[in-house]
Amino acid sequence: MASRTLAFIVKDQNPLILAASQTVQHACKRMCERGVGAVLVTDDKHHHLAGIFTGRDAVRALTEGKKPAATALSAVMTAKPDTITPEQTAIDALRAMRDGGYRHLPIVEHGKILGIVSRGDFKGLELDRLEDETYLWERIG
């Protein structure tokens, strides 16, 4: 189970992708409609991944006094997020998210956005393996 590739996990996924010029309000509305916690943000010219906008970014924008209807995603997104390739495995993604301290990880291949994974996309055995690895590293260190 821990050897599932990310391509398999996102094979039927239709990730929420918005242009960097879209507003925070629009992104939050779409996130609610789709029941997702993140938006993949593309540059307006080439439609390449420019950033990621999550619920954490929305909260930060609000606490900074930004107006959701007037603030572009480009102003509050996490720019140039880490990505992972589709041939990598579930455990690779879980390790990257743990090490980076984030909950969402875009899957990109040759500049093309294929999807996004979050911790909830993984099965018990994959999560158990990550916990076992973490425990071992903590004991060794």
Dihedral sign computed on CA atoms, order 121, 126, 132, 133: negative
Residue 56 is encoded by which pair of tokens?
């954490």
pLDDT at 141: 63
Q: How many distinct structural domains can be found in the chain? A: 1
Q: Which long-range contacts does 95-102 make (Cβ < 8 Å, 24+ apart)? A: 95/130, 95/133, 98/130, 98/134, 102/54, 102/78
pTM value? 0.85
Domain assignment present for residue 1? The answer is: no
The verdict on residue 45 lying in a domain is yes
Alpha carbon of residue 97 to chain centroid: 9
CA–CA dist 32, 44 (Å, integer): 23
Instruction: Determine the structural domain holding residue 94 and report its residue range.
Output: 6-140
- In the chain the first and final C-alpha atoms are separated, in Å, by 28
30 is a domain residue: yes
In this predicted structure, what is the pLDDT of residue 1?
A: 47
pLDDT along the chain (141 residues), means of 10: 81 95 98 96 89 97 97 97 96 91 95 91 67 65 63
Looking at residue 129, its pLDDT comes to: 63
pLDDT at position 135: 58
Output the domain CATH number for residue 100: 3.10.580.10
